[in-house]
Structure formats: C-alpha cells, structure tokens
C-alpha cells in the first residue's frame, strides 16, 4: 500500500482528491486545521505555518487508530500539498501571502529533508495574471500553457508563483520530484447545477477563460503525478479538455478577447488553458466532461 500525506484534505478540492486516492488503494493521512468527514482517512490537526508541527506530522504514523498494534512511522511515498488560503479577499492580503508562502516552504523543506521522494503542490490558474487583475487584462496569447511568462498583480497568485520557485529550488538542490499543479476552477459533482446559469451569462467566467477541472479528474491528475517518477521540477495545468461554456471557443474569443493572438489550432470547444503537457507527460484522460451532466442551451 502506498502512503500519502495530504494537506488541506478537508477543503473543497482536497476532499475529492483524497477520496480518489483512497479508491485507488492509497492510505492517506490528512493534515488540516479542520477535520475531514471520511471514515477511511484520519486528520491530524496541524498548522502548516508552524515548521515544528510540519516536521513532526510528516514523520508520524499514518494509520487510522491509536490502538493499532504498531504505531511507529512508516515510509511515506508522497506528500500532496493543498492547504492554503484559496483566493484573495478571505484574509488580509499579507495573510494570504504569509500562510501560502510559509506553509508551502515548510511542507517542501520538511518533505525533502525527511527523504520523501515525491511532492505535489497546488498552484493556480491565477498565476497567469488575468483572474485577479485590476480591470480587464488581455493575456499575451491563448491557450495559456506552462511556458507562459506569468506576471500576476495580486497577493494570492504571487504567493503561488513564489511557491513554484520554492519547489524548483528544492528540486534542484535535492533531486526530489516536485510537481506544481496549476489548478483551474474546481467543479464538485453538485456544482454542475450552476452551469446553465453560467451559459446565460458567459461574461461572468471571462476572467478564468471559462476553465474548469472536475474535482474527480483533478484526483486523477494528482494520482498520475504520484505515479510518474523522475521528472524533477515540473508545472502542469489541471483543466478539462473543453471550456465550461456551451459557446464555441472561437465565439468566446471573438466576443471577449478579440485582440489576443491564438497559438495553433483550437478544437471547437477546446479549453483556453492547455492541458496538452498534462496529457502527454502524465497520461491524463478526462473522465468527467461537463456534457455528461449538463445539457447545453446554445
Ligand atoms: N477551488 C479552486 O477552484 C482552486 C483553483 C486553483 C487552485 N486552488 C488551490 O487548491 C487548493 C485547495 O483549494 P480549495 O478550493 O479546496 O480551498 P479550501 O479553502 O476549500 O481548502 C483549503 C484547506 O486548507 C486548510 N488550511 C488553511 N490554512 C491552513 C493551515 N494554516 N494549516 C493547515 N490547513 C490549513 C483549510 O482548513 C481547508 O480545509 C489551494 O491550494 C488552492 O489555492 C483551488
């Protein structure tokens, strides 16, 4: 059985990724400040901004029960780090930056120094600089890919860029595989009910370029990251194949981003965040396209 320590597993995205890992035979220990309601997963209440707690938690026993026969720590195969303040305007700007940056530094440093061979961290589509920009901002080109010169202007996206650099530095120094997943707008199964309202107002999702990632497909991407070794430091976009709009991608571009250059040919409904690298290097194949759950209205 592979063992994973997961941070932020009690949150919106983490709970689905944790469940996906459990369904694929992983033992998961969740580190969070809030408990997770999953009978197969224990939560160790841990504040990731405290390096002492993080070192202790990452070297602790991962089993479920305090009466288990042997409570000694076992080998950990991977750390998946999702715990964060997930956007601006929840906490003051300096707090989102402090918690996300120091939390991620603490997790990566402890994982590397404890010899855990794989670290996966949650980055964000906001790194592309459009989502939380002041006013409308055109990107330099579509589709947004992992080569894009990221330059956001908000504290949340800046924290995620800093985290990617931290990951790169530790990977270079240690040889540990550290993959940063630039996650698009996470959609839980019950949120497909929101899609018809979004179809009626396509401009509402313009800033996220209509991206989405089904929370279960995100689980697949994280699992493939755990199971794909030897890539060093990498950044991967995590989005489904299509946009979350029922309008053709060319029509969205014509209406909302008419000045932006498009690289290559896009499919009729293809996402404006590229998942090509994620498919090619990790073998991602989406299982939950929104058309399985929602009827287009256009
Ligand atoms: N939801 C999205 O659409 C989306 C998009 C892009 C990136 N992300 C990233 O994915 C990750 C998960 O996002 P989410 O939407 O599930 O957020 P969430 O707020 O629902 O979950 C985050 C979890 O982190 C925990 N946490 C916060 N501070 C902590 C601390 N100091 N110590 C321990 N745990 C702490 C919270 O208790 C919570 O359970 C985040 O890193 C976020 O930035 C999310």
Asked if residue 195 is part of any domain, the answer here is no
243 ligand 1 Cβ < 6 A: no
Distance CA(115)–CA(109), nearest Å, equals 10
CA nearest to 107, candidates 97, 118, 96: 118
99 ligand 1 Cβ < 6 A: yes
Residue ranges for the chain with pLDDT beneath 50: none
Asked if residue 140 is part of any domain, the answer here is no
Question: What is the reported pLDDT for 298?
Answer: 81
Nearest-atom number in ligand 1 for the CA of 90 is 19
CA nearest to 188, candidates 15, 9, 31: 15
- To test the pocket of ligand 1, the residue of 5, 8, 212 to mutate (highest count of ligand atoms within 8 Å of its CB) is 8
Q: Would you say 174 and 109 are in contact if contact means Cβ atoms under 8 Å apart?
A: no
Distance CA(135)–CA(96), nearest Å, equals 21
Q: State phi, psi for 220 to the nearest 5 degrees.
A: -60, -45
Question: What is the reported pLDDT for 1?
Answer: 84
The residue nearest atom 23 of ligand 1, judged by CA position, is 8
Q: Which two tokens mark 146?
A: 């992992």
Q: How far is the CA of 82 from the centre of ligand 1 (A)?
A: 6
Q: How far is the CA of 32 from the centre of ligand 1 (A)?
A: 10
Asked if residue 9 is part of any domain, the answer here is yes
286: left (phi over 0), alpha (psi -120 to 50) or beta: beta
CA nearest to 5, candidates 43, 47, 51: 43
Asked if residue 232 is part of any domain, the answer here is yes
Domains of the chain: total: 1
Enclosing domain of residue 124: 3-132+145-188+214-240+274-291
Question: What is the reported pLDDT for 153?
Answer: 97
- To test the pocket of ligand 1, the residue of 10, 11, 216, 239 to mutate (highest count of ligand atoms within 8 Å of its CB) is 11
Question: pLDDT tens for residues 201-212?
Answer: 999 999 999 999
Nearest-atom number in ligand 1 for the CA of 183 is 6
Q: How far is the CA of 274 from the centre of ligand 1 (A)?
A: 23
Q: How far is the CA of 22 from the centre of ligand 1 (A)?
A: 19
Q: How far is the CA of 246 from the centre of ligand 1 (A)?
A: 28
Asked if residue 267 is part of any domain, the answer here is no
Asked if residue 297 is part of any domain, the answer here is no
Three-state SS for 296? Answer: coil
Question: What is the reported pLDDT for 73?
Answer: 95
Q: If you compute the radius of gyration of the chain from its CA atoms, what whole number of angstroms results?
A: 19
Question: What is the reported pLDDT for 193?
Answer: 98
- Residue 9 sits in a domain whose CATH number is 3.40.50.720
Q: How far is the CA of 129 from the centre of ligand 1 (A)?
A: 19
163 ligand 1 Cβ < 6 A: no
Q: How far is the CA of 255 from the centre of ligand 1 (A)?
A: 33
Question: pLDDT tens for residues 135-165?
Answer: 999 999 999 999 999 999 999 999 999 999 9
Nearest-atom number in ligand 1 for the CA of 185 is 3
Nearest-atom number in ligand 1 for the CA of 125 is 6
80 ligand 1 Cβ < 6 A: no
Q: What is the number of helices (H) and of strands (E) in the chain?
A: 8, 11
CB atoms within 10 A of CB 258: 8
Asked if residue 250 is part of any domain, the answer here is no
Q: What is the largest CA-CA distance in the chain?
A: 65
Give the CA count within 13 Å in the CB-facing half-sphere of 66.
2
Question: pLDDT tens for residues 256-293?
Answer: 999 999 999 999 999 999 999 999 999 999 999 999 99
Asked if residue 166 is part of any domain, the answer here is yes
Residues 6+ apart with CB under 8 A from 14: 6, 7, 8, 30, 32, 36, 82, 83
């Amino acid at each position: 059985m592979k063992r994973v320590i997961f941070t932020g597993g009690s949150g919106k995205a983490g709970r689905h990724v944790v469940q996906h890992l459990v369904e694929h035979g992983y033992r998961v220990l969740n580190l969070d400040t809030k408990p997770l309601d999953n009978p197969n997963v224990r939560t160790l209440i841990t504040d990731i901004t405290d390096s002492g707690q993080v070192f202790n938690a990452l070297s602790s026993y991962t089993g479920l029960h305090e009466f288990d026969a042997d409570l000694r720590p076992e080998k950990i195969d991977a750390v998946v780090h999702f715990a964060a303040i997930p956007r601006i305007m929840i906490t003051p700007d300096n707090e989102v930056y402090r918690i996300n940056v120091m939390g991620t530094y603490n997790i990566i440093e402890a994982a590397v120094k404890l010899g855990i061979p794989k670290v996966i961290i949650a980055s964000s589509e906001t790194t592309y600089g459009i989502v939380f920009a002041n006013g409308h901002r055109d990107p330099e080109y579509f589709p947004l890919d992992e080569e894009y010169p990221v330059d956001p202007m908000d504290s949340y996206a800046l924290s995620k860029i800093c985290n990617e650099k931290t990951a790169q530095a530790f990977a270079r120094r240690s040889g540990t595989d550290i993959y940063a997943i630039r996650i698009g707008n996470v959609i839980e199964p019950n949120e497909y009910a929101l899609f018809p309202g979004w179809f009626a107002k396509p401009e509402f999702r313009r800033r996220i370029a209509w991206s989405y990632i089904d929370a279960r497909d995100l689980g697949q991407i994280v699992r493939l990251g755990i199971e794909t070794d030897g890539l060093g430091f990498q950044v991967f976009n995590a989005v489904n194949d299509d946009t979350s709009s029922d309008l053709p991608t060319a029509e969205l571009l014509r209406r909302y981003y008419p000045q932006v250059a498009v690289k290559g040919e896009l499919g009729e409904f293809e996402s404006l965040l590229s998942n090509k690298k994620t498919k090619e290097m990790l073998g991602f194949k989406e299982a939950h396209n929104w058309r399985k759950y929602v009827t287009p209205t256009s």
